[in-house]
Amino acid sequence: MLDLIINSQSFTPKEEGKVGIYLCGATVQSSPHIGHLRTAVAFDVIRRWFIAKGYNVKFVQNVTDIDDKILRKSAEAGIDWRQHAKKYEKEFTKSYDSLNVLRPDSAPHATKYIGQQIKFIKEIIDNGYAYPGEVDGEFTGNVWFDTSAWKDYGELTHQQNADETEVSIEDMRPDKKSPRDFALWKTPNPEDPDSASWSSPWGKGRPGWHLECSCMSANELKGNFDIHGGGLDLRFPHHENELAQSKAAKEPTPSYWMHSAWVTAKGEKMSKSLGNGLSCETLLKQDVLNSYGLRFAFSTVQYKSMLEWTKETLESSITAGKRLRKALLDLSSNCENNCENQNLNSVDLEVSFPQFAEAMNDDFNVSKAMAAIWGALKKAGSQDYIVIRKALQVLGIDPLSDFWDTLFILEEKSKLPNKTLSEEQIKSINQQILERKEAKNSKDFALADRIRDSLQNKGIRLIDTKDGTTFEIAE
Ligand SMILES: [Zn+2]
Ligand SMILES: [Zn+2]
């Protein structure tokens, strides 16, 4: 196995042959935006490369299912906060699935970890790095991390205080010793429902947000906590606070921190939409290949580089996918011993495709890795077919994989002249085929069957093949 560099450091796992990765997951308060999707894809590629290198990978991604925004937004919508969180968690999962992101091996929820978080707070208090808030000799019910007692505070980011313009109400609470101390446990807001607080030695309340990741990463990965990932926004204060808490509790901390950069438009951070006013959900629905286009764009820019999004990004990514697909199909048609019978799993990219492997080992330099793929395709013979497909699978963009092939076939089909179906009708059928596939992915077979039956009633018969689903007009 060749050496892998992360942030100019050589990678050494805590236990040989194993890698533990913890990725800060979503706060499920509203729909995912483009930044969330980019982070998910960036770490999916990282995870796939470790797997391709032969490591046994455990990938943990948490779900923040309680937080001030979830409580506020669910109250505004007049629904139970737990239902609100469930609804958006499903949306996140659906979007990740549609971009061919592997599901995490474990997805711990903050609300299922309250007991362990209370234990964690006790450890920090016992070690002398946290204190119950107090005003005029009365306990307030909050517990604060004591940043002045923890001398290494700031070691990760060399940042000590939040931007002065971002001083929140919490920063100025009278029961704190210093404005930068942060909450490990907090009393409920007056408007919070009873179901959103738990009993603790300090009274009713809930854990501070930063704590869940310290607690869950330690419990889920234990001695195999190698990499902690997240979006760039989480470096400070979230990760600075996590590191301080975990060390103060004498719990495991990661050897490597990795942060995925933003998606920008004209240099400004994009989040709410894709600049054309479209939500990610609408965009994914608009055309069957849009999900491929997004995945390709995210997969081919190094995680720590900004991804500048323009009007052309999506289209040129889809065009690249079609070019790849055509080149691979041409190669396989020249294959003497049926290319399809070759086993992808048996390919060791570090041996058979060193230019690709070197780029990936160079801090996951995926744009260099993609250039290696294009270069190899130019002079490829049929013996390279399987190697190139394996490399594309590491990036999650192999257009001939079961996952994507269906979509390319659907899209081609919708372009064929068809006397009886309008373009709109074909689009709608394709959309329903996709929804059925998603339903099957999330094991909702009743929904999958309903979609098939409703199309059947309209005279459209679905045909499931090993390459995916197509349709014909029933006689
Ligand atoms: Zn984190
Ligand atoms: Zn986190």
Q: Is residue 408 part of a domain?
A: no
Q: Is residue 96 part of a domain?
A: yes
Count of structural domains, the chain? 4
120-150 b/e (C-beta count within 10 Å ≥ 16 → b): bbbbbbeeebbbbbeeeeeebbbbbbbbebb
Q: Is residue 410 part of a domain?
A: no
Rounded to the nearest 5°, which phi and psi values hold at 63? -120, 115
> 285 and 391 share a domain?
yes
The DSSP bridge pattern shows strands 130-135 and 138-145 to be: antiparallel
Q: Is residue 405 part of a domain?
A: no
More confident of the two residues 208 and 279: 208
Q: Is the pLDDT of residue 162 over 90?
A: no
Calculate how far, in angstroms, residue 299's C-alpha sits from the geometric centre of ligand 1: 22
The closest ligand to the CA of 22 turns out to be: 1
Q: Is residue 455 part of a domain?
A: yes
> 277 and 362 share a domain?
yes
Rounded to the nearest 5°, which phi and psi values hold at 61? -135, 120
> Which range, of 11-25, 214-228, 458-472, averages the lowest pLDDT?
458-472
Calculate how far, in angstroms, residue 326's C-alpha sits from the geometric centre of ligand 1: 41
38 token code pair: 């980019």
> 110 and 76 share a domain?
yes
Q: Is the pLDDT of residue 20 over 60?
A: yes
Q: Which of 217, 245, 258, 328 is nearest to 49 (CA)?
A: 258
41 contacts 295 by C-beta, under 8 angstroms = yes
Calculate how far, in angstroms, residue 300's C-alpha sits from the geometric centre of ligand 2: 25
Calculate how far, in angstroms, residue 217's C-alpha sits from the geometric centre of ligand 2: 9
Instruction: Look at residues 208, 228, 256 and tell me which one is the last residue of a structural domain.
Output: 208
Q: What is the distance of C-alpha 66 from the center of its chain?
A: 19
pLDDT digits (tens, 9 = 90+) for 382-430: 889 999 999 999 999 999 998 999 889 888 876 655 556 777 778 888 8
Calculate how far, in angstroms, residue 245's C-alpha sits from the geometric centre of ligand 2: 12
Calculate how far, in angstroms, residue 403's C-alpha sits from the geometric centre of ligand 1: 30
Instruction: Look at residues 183, 208, 233 and tell me which one is the last residue of a structural domain.
Output: 208
The DSSP bridge pattern shows strands 307-308 and 263-265 to be: parallel
Amino acid 267: pLDDT:
85
Q: For the packed helices 240-248 and 209-221, what is the interaxial angle rounded to 10 degrees?
A: 60
Calculate how far, in angstroms, residue 259's C-alpha sits from the geometric centre of ligand 1: 10
> 186 and 253 share a domain?
no
> 389 and 279 share a domain?
yes
Q: Which of 109, 22, 11, 101 is nearest to 64 (CA)?
A: 109
> 464 and 330 share a domain?
no
259 contacts 234 by C-beta, under 8 angstroms = yes
Calculate how far, in angstroms, residue 454's C-alpha sits from the geometric centre of ligand 1: 44
41 token code pair: 């894809």
Calculate how far, in angstroms, residue 401's C-alpha sits from the geometric centre of ligand 2: 32
> Which range, of 138-142, 244-248, 388-392, 468-472, averages the lowest pLDDT?
468-472
pLDDT digits (tens, 9 = 90+) for 101-124: 999 999 999 999 999 999 999 999
Residue 395 belongs to what domain range?
273-399
> 58 and 147 share a domain?
no
More confident of the two residues 332 and 201: 201
Calculate how far, in angstroms, residue 133's C-alpha sits from the geometric centre of ligand 1: 25
Calculate how far, in angstroms, residue 65's C-alpha sits from the geometric centre of ligand 2: 12
The closest ligand to the CA of 212 turns out to be: 2
Q: Which of 239, 233, 227 is nearest to 261 (CA)?
A: 233
Calculate how far, in angstroms, residue 228's C-alpha sits from the geometric centre of ligand 1: 6
The closest ligand to the CA of 208 turns out to be: 2
> 381 and 279 share a domain?
yes
Amino acid 474: pLDDT:
66
Q: Is the pLDDT of residue 38 over 90?
A: yes
Average pLDDT over residues 154-169: 70
The closest ligand to the CA of 25 turns out to be: 2
> 99 and 232 share a domain?
yes
Q: Is residue 45 part of a domain?
A: yes
Residues 39 and 322: their CA atoms lie apart, in Å, by 25
CATH assignment at residue 30: 3.40.50.620
* E strands, 211-327, in order: 227-231, 256-260, 263-265, 268-269, 307-308
The DSSP secondary-structure symbol of 236 reads I
The DSSP bridge pattern shows strands 227-231 and 256-260 to be: parallel
Q: Is residue 11 part of a domain?
A: yes
Calculate how far, in angstroms, residue 198's C-alpha sits from the geometric centre of ligand 2: 21
Amino acid 415: pLDDT:
63
The mean pLDDT of the chain is 91
- Give the 3-state secondary structure of 416-452: CCCCCCCHHHHHHHHHHHHHHHHHHHCCCHHHHHHHH
Q: Is the pLDDT of residue 202 over 90?
A: yes
420: number of Cβ within 10 Å: 7
228 contacts 273 by C-beta, under 8 angstroms = no
Residues 108 and 273: their CA atoms lie apart, in Å, by 28
Amino acid 464: pLDDT:
86
The DSSP bridge pattern shows strands 206-207 and 227-231 to be: unpaired
Calculate how far, in angstroms, residue 25's C-alpha sits from the geometric centre of ligand 2: 6
> 332 and 251 share a domain?
no
What percentage of the chain reaches a pLDDT higher than 70?
A: 94
Calculate how far, in angstroms, residue 24's C-alpha sits from the geometric centre of ligand 1: 5
pLDDT classification of 1: cutoffs 50, 70, 90 = confident
Helices (H) and strands (E) in the chain — how many of each?
A: 16, 15
CA distances for 78 relative to 89, 440, 448, angstroms: 18, 31, 30
Q: What is the DSSP string of 201-223?
A: TT-SBEE-HHHHHHHHHHHHHGG
101 contacts 396 by C-beta, under 8 angstroms = yes
Q: Is residue 297 part of a domain?
A: yes
> 53 and 154 share a domain?
no
> 260 and 284 share a domain?
no
pLDDT classification of 276: cutoffs 50, 70, 90 = low
